[in-house]
Amino acid sequence: MDYVPRKEWGALEEKPLRPFRRAVKGVVVHHTTGPAVDPWKRVRGHDRYHVLTKGWDSIAYNWLVSGVTGEIFEGRGWNKGAATRGHNYNTVAVALIGDSAEHLTHTGKEAILAVVGATREQHGNDLWVKCHQDFSNTTCPGDILQGWVDKGMRMDDAPSTNTVPDWDGILRYVLDMGAKVTPIARGSSGLWVALAQKRLNDRGADLKVDGIYGRKSARACRRFQSQFAMRVNGIVDANTWKVLWTI
């Protein structure tokens, strides 16, 4: 499956995206309706409609998936969305591109499950998964997709051949996030701190991966920085983050 960042598909950057300020509790499944072909064009079209016509900060969905190509498009990503009225403050929205009555494929299901898995990694394994219909008087995401979610999102149909992870896309995502999550310094905490600790361990450190950037993490960072032509200050800045993942 291919991960497609906002910059790559051409998202409008009219306004800054707002981070979640409350704990995320679940994932809400949507569909966009309309055609499923040419997903890049469809995603750009929804973005322009939501931003230029609706006046919203960005495309409403956090993530969009194509049942045709298996691509996963970053909408608002790990920022607050706008697709589930009254519940955007604590839910992540994933939308199948097209009408689920016509375009719910095995590949589309795999992509939805990939987003759900990534969201649980980001916000906790106890997150629930529901559909737009559960929160509003709407037909979204259609009876077929709703039924699949209600039955536990089982994968009983024929397997897809599109099962190889897009490692290049995952690396691009990690590197892109570096500009957003750095600097990581004493007192920083969270998932991205834990990821930095794991990466420092890969490079020879022996840290407890607890997501808390303390004295030992800073010391390991300084030791790593000293091996390269960079400022040795114990702070994971954007350059240190990039070197951690690419050299």
- From residue 86, alpha-carbon distances to 47, 91, 113, 172 in Å are 21, 10, 24, 33
- Residue corresponding to tokens 């450190």: 205
Q: Would you say 70 and 162 are in contact if contact means Cβ atoms under 8 Å apart? A: yes
Question: Residue 131 phi/psi, 5° resolution?
Answer: -120, 165
Q: What gap in Å lies between CA 90 and CA 92, rounded to an integer?
A: 7
- Phi, psi values for residue 182, rounded to 5°: -95, 155
Question: 111: part of which helix (H) or strand (E)?
Answer: helix 106-123
Mean of pLDDT values over 150-179:
72
Q: Which of 73-82, 84-93, 102-111, 153-162 has the lowest mean pLDDT?
A: 153-162
The model's confidence at residue 1, banded by pLDDT at 50, 70 and 90, is low
SS (H, E, C) 158-176: CCCCCCCCCHHHHHHHHHH
What percent of the chain shows pLDDT beyond 90? 64
Tokens of residue 230, six digits: 């960079």
**Which residues does residue 87 pair with via DSSP β-bridges, in sequence order?**
none
Q: Per residue in 56-77, is it b (16+ CB within 10 Å) or e — as a string?
A: bbbbbbbbbbbbbbbbbbbbbb
In angstroms, the CA 42 to CA 46 distance is 6
pLDDT category of residue 227 using cuts at 50, 70 and 90: very high
Spatial separation of the C-alpha atoms in residues 222 and 79, rounded to whole Å? 31
Q: Which of 39-53, 102-116, 169-183, 184-198 has the highest mean pLDDT?
A: 39-53
pLDDT tier at 160, thresholds 50, 70, 90: low
Residue 244: φ, ψ to 5°: -55, -35
Provide, rounded to the nearest whole percent, the portion of the chain with pLDDT above 70.
95
